[in-house]
Amino acid sequence: MKKLMMATALAALATTGAGMAQTLPLQELPGSSERDYWLPEEVSVDGAVEAMQAVVGTTAVPIAVPVESPIRIALIYPSADVSDFWARAFLALTKRLDDLGIPYETTEFASRQVEHELQSTYATQVNQDGDLYDFVIFGPSELATQSDNIDKLSANDAFKTFVWAFHTPLKEAKEQPDNWFDFSSSFGAARMCEFVLERYGRDVTYALIRGIPGITDNQRSGEWADCVNANGGWTMAYEHYGEFTREGGSTGTNLITQAYPEVTFIHNANTAMAMGGMEALIAAGKAADIVSTGWGGTGLELEAIRRKELDATPMRMGDDVGAATAEAIKYHLENRAAELPYVFLGRILIAHDGMSAEEIDALEQEAFRFSGVAALNR
């Protein structure tokens, strides 16, 4: 099947992620030897993230080379989940591509975040049909679980491979993808820690509704817990793995309210679990007694904060990821990929029930400037 009809694009597409694997890391930070992954600061040139954030935050500059055929994009991601992050990232991607003047065709392979085998099947299918695609965007259900699939996609020189929703390249990977796009869960955990310590003070007894064991939950739940323990003398009474599902959040919250009456704060590691937990607290008549927080600042979470049913969430400027991915496609086609940060990170701010409606609206307008502030029909 015919590839892109331009010499510059062909030259860009000839450079694979495997070449990047030979150059990592660019530098090693303290503690690197104790980690099985690299931090974004270890693999991106200083200033590259900030430069791309500036590009994404301004008006699009159309692509400088002709694109005679639509580029073909495969998206393998858990977009069937409760969180609207994936749908918004897709909308931001496509609208920014429109603004850049890049024609495209997309094929989506959707799953839920707990459907690891289904996602693996999709990855195998896309890899086998590699000549059908120019770019593959992979949103792993969990990074370690899908590491083999990232390897095989990255090794395929028929297309460029981008990873969404993770930002810690694994050291053991045989091949590395071309670029990563995410929000730093570590940064969000630190911001959330600062916020809750300032607002709720010291010596709080709390519970965790965790996701799936792995890097994402370690950062969102584990690093946040370490921070409040060390800096606020907080005490964890219970932790429950809810597998990033609404049902898991509901089940875990019910267990907490029944067996751990001393808990006054529940930390949820994603939108789905926060929604399930919120509903369980309301049903149990405990919503006024127990603080409940979410993760991500999705539309569902912001509506719950406006209703005073959810107390706070680390809010991603959600459209940054999709828009930055569109810009990365442009840079690859223009043979300017060396200017990209290897790991792009979007911004995270705290949204909470102490904010005015106008303040929440302003955050929402910025976060969803491409995908729109209205709830998505999914």
- Could you give the C-alpha distances from 325 to 79, 135, 317, 345, in angstroms and in order? 17, 10, 14, 11
**Calpha distance 351→314 (Å, rounded):** 6
User: For 182-236, what is each residue's pLDDT tens digit?
Assistant: 999 988 999 999 999 999 999 999 999 999 998 889 999 999 999 999 999 999 9
**Using an 8 Å Cβ cutoff, are 130 and 154 in contact?**
no
**Using an 8 Å Cβ cutoff, are 268 and 292 in contact?**
yes
**Calpha distance 153→159 (Å, rounded):** 8
Both tokens of 236, joined, read: 């964890």
Please count the other Cβ atoms lying within 10 Å of the Cβ belonging to residue 185.
27
Residue 17 shares a structural domain with residue 163? yes
User: For 154-167, what is each residue's pLDDT tens digit?
Assistant: 999 999 999 999 99
Q: What is the pLDDT along the chain (378 residues), one digit of tens a residue?
A: 333 333 333 333 334 343 344 489 999 999 999 999 999 999 999 999 999 999 998 899 999 999 999 999 999 999 887 678 899 999 999 999 999 999 999 999 999 988 999 999 999 999 999 999 999 999 999 999 999 999 999 999 999 999 999 999 999 999 999 999 999 998 899 999 999 999 999 999 999 999 999 888 999 999 999 999 999 999 999 999 999 999 999 999 999 999 999 999 999 999 999 999 999 999 999 999 999 999 988 889 999 999 999 999 999 888 999 999 999 999 999 999 999 999 999 989 999 999 999 999 999 998 889 998 776 765
For every residue of 234-298, DSSP letters joined together read -EEEEEEE-TTSHHHHHHHHHHHHHH-TT--EEEESSHHHHHHHHHHHHHHT-TTTSEEE-SB--
User: What is the value of pTM for the model shown?
Assistant: 0.76
The CA-CA-CA angle for residues 182, 184, 187, to 5°, reads: 160
Residue 361 is assigned to a structural domain of this protein: no
Residue 54 shares a structural domain with residue 133? yes
Estimate the crossing angle of helix 85-100 against helix 319-333, to 10 degrees.
40
Please count the other Cβ atoms lying within 10 Å of the Cβ belonging to residue 101.
14
Specify the amino acid at residue 170. L
Based on the structure, what is the number of domains in the chain? 2
Estimate the crossing angle of helix 271-284 against helix 246-259, to 10 degrees.
40
Residue 261 shares a structural domain with residue 197? yes
209: which residues sit within 8 A by CB, 6+ positions away?
239, 240, 242, 248, 249, 252, 253, 266, 267, 268, 269, 273, 274, 277
Residue 286 is assigned to a structural domain of this protein: yes
Residue 31 shares a structural domain with residue 172? yes
Residue 67 shares a structural domain with residue 178? yes
Residue 305 is assigned to a structural domain of this protein: no
Residue 118 shares a structural domain with residue 150? yes
**Calpha distance 71→354 (Å, rounded):** 45
Residue 56 shares a structural domain with residue 115? yes
**Calpha distance 168→40 (Å, rounded):** 6
Q: CATH code at 68?
A: 3.40.50.2300
Q: Print the domain residue range for 327.
A: 7-183+318-347
